[in-house]
Amino acid sequence: MEKLLLWNEAIDDYKRANSIYRRRPFSGDDPIVFSNIANAETGLLQWENALKDFSYAIKLKPDFIAPQIGRALVQYQLGQYSTAGECFESLVDLYPEFPDGLALYAIYCFHIGDMKEANYHWTIATKLDPRYREVEWVRDIRRWPPALIADLAAYLG
Protein backbone atom coordinates (compact mmCIF):
# COMPACT_ATOMS: atom_id res chain seq x y z
CA MET A 1 0.00 0.00 0.00
CA GLU A 2 2.86 2.34 0.75
CA LYS A 3 4.14 2.06 -2.83
CA LEU A 4 0.68 3.19 -3.95
CA LEU A 5 0.88 6.16 -1.55
CA LEU A 6 -2.08 4.77 0.38
CA TRP A 7 -0.61 5.77 3.72
CA ASN A 8 -3.53 4.98 6.05
CA GLU A 9 -4.04 1.58 4.46
CA ALA A 10 -0.32 0.88 4.75
CA ILE A 11 -0.39 1.77 8.45
CA ASP A 12 -3.36 -0.57 8.97
CA ASP A 13 -1.47 -3.37 7.17
CA TYR A 14 1.66 -2.78 9.25
CA LYS A 15 -0.35 -2.84 12.47
CA ARG A 16 -1.93 -6.16 11.42
CA ALA A 17 1.55 -7.52 10.68
CA ASN A 18 2.75 -6.44 14.12
CA SER A 19 -0.23 -8.12 15.73
CA ILE A 20 0.69 -11.39 14.00
CA TYR A 21 4.35 -10.95 14.96
CA ARG A 22 3.44 -10.47 18.63
CA ARG A 23 1.62 -13.82 18.69
CA ARG A 24 4.91 -15.65 18.26
CA PRO A 25 6.47 -17.00 21.45
CA PHE A 26 8.83 -14.53 23.10
CA SER A 27 7.99 -11.79 20.61
CA GLY A 28 7.22 -8.18 21.35
CA ASP A 29 6.71 -5.43 18.85
CA ASP A 30 8.57 -5.66 15.55
CA PRO A 31 11.04 -2.77 14.99
CA ILE A 32 10.72 -3.11 11.21
CA VAL A 33 6.96 -2.67 11.45
CA PHE A 34 7.28 0.48 13.56
CA SER A 35 9.88 1.91 11.19
CA ASN A 36 7.48 1.24 8.30
CA ILE A 37 4.57 2.80 10.19
CA ALA A 38 6.71 5.88 10.76
CA ASN A 39 7.59 6.02 7.05
CA ALA A 40 3.90 5.99 6.20
CA GLU A 41 3.24 8.69 8.79
CA THR A 42 5.78 10.91 7.04
CA GLY A 43 3.71 10.44 3.89
CA LEU A 44 0.76 11.80 5.85
CA LEU A 45 2.95 14.66 7.17
CA GLN A 46 2.36 13.40 10.71
CA TRP A 47 5.81 14.40 11.89
CA GLU A 48 5.30 14.00 15.65
CA ASN A 49 3.78 10.52 15.22
CA ALA A 50 6.61 9.54 12.89
CA LEU A 51 9.19 10.79 15.38
CA LYS A 52 7.56 8.72 18.13
CA ASP A 53 7.42 5.56 16.01
CA PHE A 54 10.95 5.89 14.62
CA SER A 55 12.20 6.39 18.18
CA TYR A 56 10.29 3.33 19.34
CA ALA A 57 11.76 1.23 16.52
CA ILE A 58 15.23 2.37 17.62
CA LYS A 59 14.43 1.48 21.22
CA LEU A 60 13.42 -2.01 20.09
CA LYS A 61 16.56 -2.48 17.97
CA PRO A 62 19.23 0.18 18.63
CA ASP A 63 21.51 -0.94 15.78
CA PHE A 64 18.74 -0.72 13.13
CA ILE A 65 19.95 2.07 10.82
CA ALA A 66 16.74 2.71 8.83
CA PRO A 67 14.73 4.25 11.69
CA GLN A 68 17.78 6.24 12.77
CA ILE A 69 17.88 7.88 9.34
CA GLY A 70 14.10 8.30 9.31
CA ARG A 71 14.12 9.91 12.74
CA ALA A 72 16.87 12.32 11.67
CA LEU A 73 14.85 13.32 8.59
CA VAL A 74 11.85 14.04 10.81
CA GLN A 75 13.99 15.91 13.33
CA TYR A 76 15.26 18.13 10.53
CA GLN A 77 11.68 18.78 9.43
CA LEU A 78 10.77 19.71 13.01
CA GLY A 79 13.67 22.18 13.24
CA GLN A 80 15.90 19.96 15.37
CA TYR A 81 18.78 20.66 13.01
CA SER A 82 21.77 19.93 15.23
CA THR A 83 20.36 16.57 16.35
CA ALA A 84 19.63 15.59 12.75
CA GLY A 85 23.03 16.88 11.65
CA GLU A 86 24.77 14.69 14.24
CA CYS A 87 23.02 11.65 12.76
CA PHE A 88 23.91 12.66 9.20
CA GLU A 89 27.55 13.17 10.21
CA SER A 90 27.58 9.79 11.94
CA LEU A 91 26.24 8.19 8.75
CA VAL A 92 29.11 9.70 6.78
CA ASP A 93 31.61 8.43 9.34
CA LEU A 94 30.14 4.91 9.37
CA TYR A 95 29.36 4.65 5.65
CA PRO A 96 31.65 7.03 3.73
CA GLU A 97 30.32 5.86 0.34
CA PHE A 98 26.59 6.00 1.20
CA PRO A 99 25.31 8.73 -1.14
CA ASP A 100 22.15 9.49 0.86
CA GLY A 101 24.17 10.11 4.03
CA LEU A 102 26.68 12.26 2.15
CA ALA A 103 23.94 14.28 0.46
CA LEU A 104 22.03 14.75 3.72
CA TYR A 105 25.15 15.88 5.53
CA ALA A 106 26.04 18.23 2.67
CA ILE A 107 22.64 19.92 2.83
CA TYR A 108 22.84 20.15 6.62
CA CYS A 109 26.29 21.79 6.29
CA PHE A 110 24.81 24.22 3.76
CA HIS A 111 22.00 24.97 6.21
CA ILE A 112 24.45 25.91 8.97
CA GLY A 113 26.62 27.92 6.56
CA ASP A 114 29.60 25.59 6.28
CA MET A 115 30.02 25.78 2.51
CA LYS A 116 33.40 24.05 2.46
CA GLU A 117 32.01 20.90 4.08
CA ALA A 118 28.77 21.15 2.10
CA ASN A 119 30.57 21.31 -1.24
CA TYR A 120 33.02 18.56 -0.28
CA HIS A 121 30.33 16.05 0.72
CA TRP A 122 28.02 17.09 -2.10
CA THR A 123 30.72 16.42 -4.67
CA ILE A 124 31.24 12.89 -3.36
CA ALA A 125 27.51 12.19 -3.06
CA THR A 126 26.70 13.29 -6.59
CA LYS A 127 29.69 11.47 -8.02
CA LEU A 128 28.32 8.28 -6.43
CA ASP A 129 24.72 9.04 -7.45
CA PRO A 130 24.04 12.04 -9.73
CA ARG A 131 20.27 11.78 -9.13
CA TYR A 132 20.70 13.85 -5.97
CA ARG A 133 20.98 16.87 -8.28
CA GLU A 134 17.31 16.30 -9.23
CA VAL A 135 15.00 17.83 -6.63
CA GLU A 136 12.02 15.86 -7.93
CA TRP A 137 13.84 12.54 -7.53
CA VAL A 138 14.98 13.37 -4.00
CA ARG A 139 11.47 14.53 -3.05
CA ASP A 140 9.47 11.76 -4.72
CA ILE A 141 11.77 8.73 -4.58
CA ARG A 142 14.07 9.35 -1.60
CA ARG A 143 11.14 11.10 0.12
CA TRP A 144 13.12 13.75 1.96
CA PRO A 145 10.82 16.01 4.00
CA PRO A 146 9.88 19.52 2.83
CA ALA A 147 12.44 21.37 4.99
CA LEU A 148 15.30 19.37 3.50
CA ILE A 149 13.89 19.74 0.00
CA ALA A 150 13.73 23.51 0.48
CA ASP A 151 17.37 23.59 1.60
CA LEU A 152 18.36 21.28 -1.27
CA ALA A 153 16.64 23.60 -3.76
CA ALA A 154 18.37 26.62 -2.20
CA TYR A 155 21.73 24.86 -2.37
CA LEU A 156 21.22 23.95 -6.02
CA GLY A 157 19.73 27.41 -6.62
Q: Reply yes or no on whether the pLDDT at 128 is more than 80.
A: yes
Is the pLDDT confidence value at 1 over 80?
A: no
Q: What is the pLDDT of residues 88-101, one digit of tens each?
A: 999 999 999 999 99
Reported pTM:
0.89
CATH superfamily of 1-78: Tetratricopeptide repeat domain (1.25.40.10)
The answer to whether residues 133 and 123 touch, using CB atoms and an 8 Å cutoff, is no
Span 82-157: which CATH code? 1.25.40
Domain boundaries, the chain: 1-78, 82-157
Task: Report the helix count and the strand count for the chain, using DSSP H and E.
Answer: 9, 0
Provide DSSP, 96-108: TT-HHHHHHHHHH
- Encode pLDDT of 16-50 as tens digits: 887 887 777 777 888 999 999 999 999 999 999 99
